[in-house]
Structure 1
Amino acid sequence: MEHMKHRLLECQWSPEEIAGRLRVEYGKCIISTTTIYRAIYSGWLNAPKASTVSVIKKLRHRGKRRKKRSIEEKRGKIQISHDITERPSGAENRSEIGHWEADTVVGKQGKACLVTLVD
């Protein structure tokens, strides 16, 4: 813990650098970057409050929280203006020509696409 504290506060290493160096020196994952970040934010370093704030300001996001995107993707979606219940009876029993039905099938990797058209 003291080794990590020295590198973080005095050498100004990032949590990723500290975890990577420990992995190189000891051959396995001694401590993860997530654990180091938790130690910084919860104050386990026993550093003065001003020092903890200055450490947070030197981190990758500089203490700023990332905004989660909860917006639904709207690109590439076709807006359907009418419902299937509004379908004419001639199209339902297939007695009239000219009522087209279309469907698409996208391949597993998203590279291939198949379009079917039925009159």
Structure 2
Amino acid sequence: MNKQPSIYPSGVRKAHHLKINDLAYLLEMDQSSLSRFEAGKFQSLKALIGYHILLNLSIESSIRQVFEAGFKGLSDRCFQLIEKVSEGPKTLKNTLRLESLNNIVTRLMQLDEAYV
């Protein structure tokens, strides 16, 4: 039975017969940061792009995980800010802020539908 290649950073790295300190050297990053990145405990754009370029790691699943983790909090804070601004004075600046915030919420909802 053929072993399927891993889609996880550590599996991809190991499939290329590289040690984590090899990647740390190539990416000019701390080995412990890469270890946490591989474990999913640390988000690093530099590591994500580095693994993608050097090892052909698909970044779609990683981007999806980051999006899902941040989406709920981001949308919740948008609604909270809309409520806060709505309770404030009815000035032109606040009206424009509300319009921008509502546009952001619309965009977030579109992104959410795209990733479902």
Q: TM-score, normalised on structure 1?
A: 0.25
Which structure has the higher relative contact order (CA within 8 Å, separation 6+)? 2
Instruction: Identify, as 1 or 2, the structure richer in helix.
Output: 2
Structure with greater Cα Rg: 1
